[in-house]
Chain A
Amino acid sequence: MTTMTFGRAITAGLRRAMDDDPRVILMGEDIGKLGGVFRITDGLQKDFGPHRVLDSPLAEAGIMGTAVGMAYRGYRPVVEIQFDGFIYPAFDQIVCQVAKLHYRTQGAVKMPITIRVPFGGGIGSPEHHSESPEAYFTHTSGLRVVSVSNPQDAYTMIQQAIACDDPVLYFEPKRRYHVKGEVDEAADPASSDLGAARVVTAGSDVTLVTYGPLVSTARDAAIAASDDGISIEVIDLRSLAPIDFATVEASVRKTGRLVITHEAAQSGGLGAEIAASITERCFDYLEHAPVRVTGFDIPYPYSKLEFHHLPDLDRILDGVDRVMRRPNSLSGLDGAPTSEGAAL
């Protein structure tokens, strides 16, 4: 076991994948000498050379489209998108080409491209630097979408993503790059499934589903709620497409209550998919309608106000109180649900 930051764990995972397979090529803006704006590729160009760690011209469609060509040629490109908001210029290449080539060619062409996206907010950045675009990609068949939340997963899952023959969007919660944790570098990435969710804390009253940046907030919420005698089971989805519904379903059958939290806007978001799917699968087990605690349906706000938009411990606990039918922000002070609250 080694203690390392979340960011360093990704670097270590990349390094190992590059050591193991010479076809792994890194591409992106500023990833060479600078080591990327978040320094995730720090030192890799020095060690593997400019042909394996390519500083690319400033053109996201160009990076993604040439990665497609590299993949045709048998390489396994790992693309760094500098910030979440800059993935959109590459959107066409991702959804029309990367996602569909395997299907279009009846499996003849593999697109083992890993797309690393530092995402999410909470770091006081200007616009286009704090977005949560995952739902655009989970809506596109043919793509795998994962999000990591801790150093061990970061280390393991980047290797799994690179080894996977499908294209994988690998969402890195940038506000957690400096958080430290234990990493078992000897762990064999092939021994676990890239698509599997993880039960972070076991509980019996409420299932709290999340991923990426909010996993640690959800865990804190579980600890805070236990002081009030509420037992929360926190699930880190890890894979956002496909979703490991079996794990969520088993939990909801036990708890009867579901809260989903993510930073992305609510409407058409992943929370809606999870709420609908679990309602279909577990309707008879539910004691309350699933509740979503999410970002608002607004463009990501300027930094002085971002903490209003981002779900935090208190907003998650308020959502928990709603499914527990305890006094909450939408109920009367006596605890009786208002019609508005009940309608939720």
Chain B
Amino acid sequence: MTQEGSLPRSGRTEAVGGTAEQASGTVHPGPSRPGADELVQLIDHHGVRHPHGHYDGLVADVDGPALQKLYEDMVVVRRIDAEATALQRQGELALWPPLLGQEAAQIGSGRALRSDDFVFSSYRENAVAYCRGVDLADILRVWRGNASSGWDPYTINMATPQVIIGAQTLHATGYAMGIINDGADAVAVAYFGDGATSQGDVNEAMVFAASYQAPVVFFCQNNHWAISEPVGLQAHVPIARRAPGFGIPSVRVDGNDVLACLAVTREALARARSGGGPTFIEAVTYRMGPHTTADDPTRYRDANELEDWAARDPLARLATLLDSLGLLEADYTDSVKAKADAVAAELRQGCLSMPEPAPSDVFKHVYSTPNSWLDRQQDHYERYLASFSQAPQEGSR
């Protein structure tokens, strides 16, 4: 398969505000690949559906009810995000990384996956976890400080979130190499940010993926910021241009267009399943909230930029489209709201009713079999804790 073959030959191209060039202020005379910078878009930010010669075929099955379902997903995950942010503000979570603004990228790609595909994500992909069918409270376990991981990766075929930037791209590639050995047709999907593309791990993952033609999809959410650093500091040309240098076809998609994200991800998955190797997707989106609840974006980000992107909101544009199709009637929106309310209530309840861990839990799972070093430390610590209830009160302590 040639690289060009993966690129949209026709269809709508729109310069979305804040591309890599704009963020960096300079355009580097990088290798010019006509088409590589084209942005796949099926629903524009006014909610207008545009036909696309290539990608329409990939979403031909998405009828009215299916579009409504995608909308419901996005409303629900936005609500999960808001509820978790509120829980953090109320002191119930130590920290929370909001995905506000990235719903379309995550739902569009997440809903393209098959249950036997395996996801390796960073910390912000809570909407992807939702698509995988995560138990809601499990999303919060880590952020509440109650556990090192929220779920058993094999129950939802999604690794637990990665904090070390970019490390998961190698894991996804290795998993995909295992899929080849097993003769299976599942796909590994790596989610990461624009900042992550600077890490050696991500670049090494692309080397391995290309060398072994591994069935892996690199899904980069270019949300324009890595904490305070604009994407222009990580890449002087559109990020999608990087992968072809490794021999990996790439595509740029409007990350705020759920239908386009679904389409490009389906294409990448199909290529991987049929032995066509890896694909790199750059979903151009925007982080509307802070990096985490501990961050203050007003120190580094222009309010106008936020306003520009608010006008490209992924939910609003789909609502407009649904409305124009007569699919946004009150009984439908009421049912979506009821679903979001129920999910939020379940999330809150799950958070507040999480059992407190026991002190001896710190010694669990360090090794898979007992170990005399650690047994001794645990024994001594338990005796130490017991000494508080047994010791006669003496002296000042």
Residues of A within 8 A of B (CB): 29-30, 32-35, 37, 55-62, 85-86, 88-89, 124-129, 224, 227-228, 266-267, 296-299, 301-305, 308-309, 314-315, 317-318, 327-330, 333
Contact = CB atoms under 8 A, between A and B. Distances in A.
Contacts of B361: 301, 305
Nearest to A266: B377
Contacts, number: 137
Contacts of B163: 85, 126-129
B229 A30 contact: yes
B164 interface: yes
Given A58-B195, A62-B198, A125 B95 contact: yes
B300 interface: yes
Contacts of A85: 163-164
B59 interface: no
B299 A34 contact: yes
A55 B299 CA distance: 14
A124 B229 contact: no
B71 to A, nearest CB: 32
Greatest chain B CB density within 10 A among A85, A301, A318 is at A301
Interface residues of B, number: 52
Q: Which 3 A-B residue pairings sit nearest by Cβ, starting from the closest?
A: A303-B145, A34-B228, A58-B195
Nearest to A82: B227
B362 A301 contact: yes
A317 B387 CA distance: 13
Contact of B366 (A33, A60, A62, A299): A299
Contact of B200 (A33, A61, A303): A61
B147 interface: yes
20 contacts: A32-B228, A34-B299, A55-B233, A58-B198, A58-B199, A58-B229, A61-B200, A89-B201, A126-B143, A224-B396, A228-B397, A296-B378, A296-B381, A299-B148, A301-B148, A302-B146, A304-B356, A305-B359, A318-B387, A333-B391
A325 B373 CA distance: 24
B299 A33 contact: yes
A297 B145 contact: no
Interface string B126-154: 00000000000000001111111000000
Contact of B363 (A224, A228, A298, A303): A298
A33 B300 CA distance: 6
Interface string B256-294: 000000000000000000000000000000000000001
B374 A296 contact: yes
B145 A124 contact: yes
A224 B397 contact: yes
Contacts of B366: 297-299
B362 A298 contact: yes
Contacts of B353: none
B180 interface: no
Given A228-B396, A308-B381, A30 B390 contact: no
Interface string B380-397: 110110111011100111
Given A33-B299, A126-B143, A228 B200 contact: no
B233 A305 contact: no
A163 B79 CA distance: 52
A309 B377 CA distance: 11
Interface string B146-176: 1110000000000000011100000000000
A134 B241 CA distance: 40
Given A86-B164, A125-B95, A296 B227 contact: no
B196 interface: yes
A329 B387 contact: yes
A59 B198 CA distance: 6
Given A33-B300, A88-B164, 20 more contacts: A33-B228, A34-B300, A35-B299, A55-B228, A58-B195, A59-B199, A89-B201, A126-B123, A127-B148, A228-B395, A267-B373, A296-B374, A298-B362, A298-B366, A301-B361, A302-B147, A302-B357, A305-B362, A315-B384, A318-B384
Interface string B360-379: 01110010000001100110
A12 to B, nearest CB: 21
Contacts of B391: 327, 333
Contacts of B395: 227-228
Contacts of B94: 124-126, 303
Contacts of A33: 228, 299-300
Interface string B289-316: 0000010000110000000000000000
B364 to A, nearest CB: 9
Interface in B1-27: none
A167 B276 CA distance: 48
B226 interface: yes
B234 interface: yes
B17 to A, nearest CB: 20
Contacts of B228: 30, 32-34, 55
A110 to B, nearest CB: 26
Nearest to B366: A298
Contacts of A266: 377
Given A298-B363, A305-B362, A333-B392, A58 B383 contact: no
Contact of A29 (B196, B229, B299): B229
B397 A314 contact: yes
Nearest to B161: A126
**Most chain A Cβ neighbours within 10 Å, of B95, B229, B388:** B229
Contacts of B199: 58-61, 89
Contacts of A124: 94, 145
A57 B234 CA distance: 5
Contact of A329 (B95, B233, B384): B384
A34 B142 CA distance: 26
Contacts of A32: 228
Nearest to A92: B200
Nearest to A229: B395
Contacts of A37: 227, 294
A128 B144 CA distance: 16
Interface in B91-106: 94-95
Contacts of A299: 148, 366
A227 B394 CA distance: 11
A305 B200 contact: no
A315 B385 CA distance: 10
Contacts of B362: 296, 298, 301, 305, 308-309
